[in-house]
Each structure stands twice: as C-alpha cells, then as structure tokens.
Amino acid sequence: MRSFLFFAALPIHWVTAFSFNAYDLGFRGIYPRQHFHSVDLEAPAPRITQWDSRCDSGNLFLTPRGPFVNGAARGPVILDARGNLVWMEHDQFEQAMNFNVQKYKGEDYLTFWTKTKKKRHSKHSKKSYVLLNSSYEVVHRVHPHGAGLKADSHEFRITPQGTALITIHHKHQADCTELGLGKSCWIQDGQFQEIDIETGDLLFEWRATDHIRMSDVFSSPSRKDGYGKSKKDAFDFFHINSVDKTDSGDYLISGRYMHAVLCISSKTGEILWQLGGKNNHFEDLNGATDFAWQHHVTWQGNNTISLFDNHANNVFHNPTAHSKGMLIHLDMEKMTATLLQAFVHPDKILNVSQGSVQVLPESGNVLVGFGNSPTYVEYSAEGKMLCNAHFAPHLVFEIIDFGLVKSYRVFKHPWVGRPKTVPDVKVKRGKVYVSWNGATEVTGWRLETARAVEAKDHEFVTMQEAKRDGFETSFALRKNHRYVRVAALDASHGVMAYSAVVKTPSPSLAFWSIFFLVFGCMVLCFGFLGLVFLYGKFPELPRPPKLSGLRARLGAVVAGNYREHNPESEPLLLNDRDP
C-alpha cells in the first residue's frame, strides 16, 4: 500500500517512464557493463528501448564517467549503433570528455579533451586536447596559450581552416562591486582561444570580463558556484561551455549562466548580437528563447543554430520542467527568432548539466545526448523519436538527476579504425575467445592450429571459421590441439592480421575426476535397470534375500559375536579379581 501511495504521489510521466525490469531496477549494477574474456575492458552496456531502421548506422562516441565508472570502464568509448563495443582506451587517458570525430586537412580524426599523467620536466599541463588517427595514435596535442591557463573540457572544435576553438576557465581577481562582494573578489572567468593546430600559434582570444557585466548573469555566489573569497572558492559567473564559427567567420558562444547565445566579432571582440538572457536582441515568435543553463550551441548554417536546453542548474527543480534539444532560425533583417523544432525526451527528464545536439549529415536525423542523464535519443528531422537508449538504470536518473553515470556529449559518426596492434586471443574452458580493439573492417575469424609454437605459416591447419559476432567471437575447441592462433579476415576473405600463438591447456585432473564419477553413476544406473529387466523377463531366477530377512540375519550374527566376545561372560583371571 505504501509503495502504491509513493508512486501515486509522483508526476505521471515519472511513473509511466519507470521500467520494472532487472536492468532498470539496478540488479545489473548502477553502471551495467559488457565484459570480455580476451581483453580487460568494461564497456557500457546500453539498453535499447526503441529501435527504428531509419536510425543512422554510424558509431556512437561517448565518454562515460561518474563515481561508479572506474578502472577498466573509464576512457573514451566507441559503440556501434546496436551498443556493441568497437573501441575503448582506459590506460593511456586517465579521463576523457567531448569525444568526437572531426576533419583536419581532409582526414578524419578522433578528438577529445583528456587528462593524463604529467611527465617530469614537462612544460605542459596534464590536461590537453588530442587528435588520434585511424590507428589510434596521438598525432597532435593542443594546449592553451598563457601562463597558468589549463585546457578546459567543455569545447574542442576544429574549423575548416585547420584551427582549433577551445574554452578556458581562468581564475583571477576582479571588481565584484555589482555582486556586493567589494572591489576585489576571485572569479572564474570565461575565455576562448582560436589556435593554429599545425603551428600552435594563437590567432584570437576573448574573455567574458572584458565585455560582460556581472549583473547580466543569473548566477549568484553560492556553495555550488563559489563565493569569491579565495582562488579555490572563485565565483563562476559566466560559464562558457561551447564555441563555434558562423559563415561570416564570427564566433558563436554559449554563456550558460547568462541563459544566452552570443555572437562575437572576429575583428573587434565586441558582441554583435545576443539571443536570450537579459539583453536579448531578437523578437521571440514561438518560444525560441525559452531556454536556460544551456549547452552545446552549434552553427548549422543558413542562420540556424542548435542547442541543448538544460532548463535547470541543480537537482532540486520544478518536477514539471524538462530538458530538450532545440533548432532555432534567426532572421537577421527582422531580428526575429523562430523555434523550428524541439526534441524532448519521451520521459520528459530534466538533467541539470551537460548535453548535446547533433544534426546527422547523412540522414538528417537529430541525435540528442542528455548529458548528466545517461541516455540518448535519435529523432527524425520532424521531431519523431526513432531510437531510444540508456546506459544506466532508470532508477539513477528518472526521479532525481544525481549524475551517478553520465557522458558530457554523445555523437554519432561513421568511423574506420585500423589499429597497428594484433588481435587478442584467450583460451578458456574449452573455448578460444578473440577480439581486436578498434578494428572496424574485420568481418570474420579463422581458427588455426599447429604442433609447435614456432611453426611456420604453412604448418598451420585451419580448424574453423566464424563470422564476426560483436566485439568478441568464440570458437569451441573440438580436439586437444596444442597450439592455436586466430586470423582476422576482411570482407574479401583476406587475412588482415594474426593473433599471437597460444598454447591450449591440457584437460585437468578435475575434469577426468568428474568424467569418471559421472561414468560410474551411469554404470550403476544401467546395471540396476538391467536387473529389473531380467527379473521381469525371467521370474524363475533366484531372488536376492528380502531386506527384512537380511536384517534379521545380520542382527543375529551381531548378537552372537557380542556374546562370544563380551568380557563379562568370560572367567576373570586371578590378577583381574578385586583385592
């Protein structure tokens, strides 16, 4: 009865959204994972609740993190559209955010912000932006310009001109009279830089305190955003979280705490126009400025922008509010803003931070990542939900968004990976498991055997072939072959690479013990059934003594032996008599 009253008191969309299954009730853990035999990787195991063939076939790019994402589960992750692991790395990169595929000089690169262990005598911070080629090798690192400036995780966008747009949160002292904190307090300033990737030269820099009044923001000194009394307690007044470029070459930035999108002149740094916030320049025709605490503002061309509207900044929020993706068209002549489409989660969830909106170029679909809530949804251009998935139980984000599991952004792209490693193989319990982290062109596997570990290629004999089955494929060992290896096959059945040669373990003593135990039990059972059959077929055969008669005979024998050997029935010797 109490459970019924509890759910009856919740908003109706919370109750209908809650799924009573093992995954969503947390029986697979707060962060369900895929486990493998051949490698020590723990990828997210998303639950797809809706699938449509019209969903884009690209791979998903996530950076799961949170207090329950640790060890072999950390790092950038690529999943296929169905949630199978393609590639992940948890050793080289301690932490990653904003994982994406971007073009640089005509080639596709994996790009993200990362936090790695700082090398001794290195002049660079352990935080940087990296570009990985198709072999998953770091070919470029980008660092911010300026003493004491650290790479910020919010944005790393590569322009068609081969430059990088990055965000910086810089702590310094400023005049805080407008906030009532006196002429000097510590603030966390919002900056962005444009840097030439090839040369590392600084091309442009902008900071919020040069152009934004502190009275124009919606945040105020607090425990969450800082009180401004010290550098450690610096007040985060602007919170820049995205940078892009318009067709004219000007900059488009998101000021989360202003509830506004700003267009910055690439020549003077002045604010050309503002959408939303206290100094909005546009006439809102249909809810185009109904956003707050937003993320991931992107220029889509044709005077159209996309953004993710968080609509909240803390977990204690109005339960009727919800987050959404937005497509907004701006008429620069009439200075009007029109909401083209809103993309609302089917459960109307509200996540307090992070999030992304990506218009997929191939299909025109829109992928929305819900940031602090571990879920992503793909919509048609008209706003119809096509595919829906989440990678943590509903239990941890449907009612209160604590961010126990999250991904800053979620993207979808085609990707071709050609690692320079070899396939990983593991023999375990009569099976051979094989995988190749990051190899996207493998279509099948071939299991081969040889008599020696140093055997030449022509000495290996094919045992079995199998189609690729997700990230990891297994073979059953039908014979006790001493050494095996696995060949990765491409679409034309050519060999891409061979795994290392591994020795198959000999059957253990425990195996033979179990075998003979089972065999002995089977012999006894068949023997008993045989006797039953014989006595039924030939009743004249002598019968074994009945159990009651046998018991009586045994009793008599035991009693006789007792009397025969009872010391009290024997005469006592002289030395045994009492004195």
Domains in the chain (CATH in brackets) are 424-503 (2.60.40)
Phi, psi of 178 (to 5 degrees): -65, -25
CB atoms within 10 A of CB 227: 16
| pLDDT value at residue 291 | 97
Tokens of residue 281, six digits: 């320049």
**pTM, whole model, 2 decimals?**
0.84
Residues of the chain with pLDDT under 70: 1-19, 117-125, 316-319, 506-517, 526-528, 530-579
Residue 171: both structure tokens together: 């702590």
426 bridge partner residues: 433
Whole-angstrom distance, CA of residue 41 vs CA of residue 87: 9
Please state the three-class secondary structure of 491-536 as a single string.
Answer: CCCCEEEECCCEECCCCCHHHHHHHHHHHHHHHHHHHHHHHHHHHH
Predicted pLDDT of residue 401: 75
Given CA atoms 26, 29, 31, 34 in this order, what sign does their dihedral have?
Answer: negative
**What 3-state class would DSSP assign to 526?**
helix
Secondary structure (H, E, C), 267-296: CCCCEEEEEECCCCCCEECCCCCCCCCCEE
Structure confidence at residue 498 (pLDDT): 98
CA distance 31 to 46: 10
- Residue 321 is predicted with a pLDDT of 84
For residue 266, the Cα-to-chain-centroid distance in whole angstroms is 37
Output the six-digit token pair for 252. Answer: 């488009």
| Per-residue pLDDT tens digits for 305-329 | 999 999 998 876 666 789 999 999 9
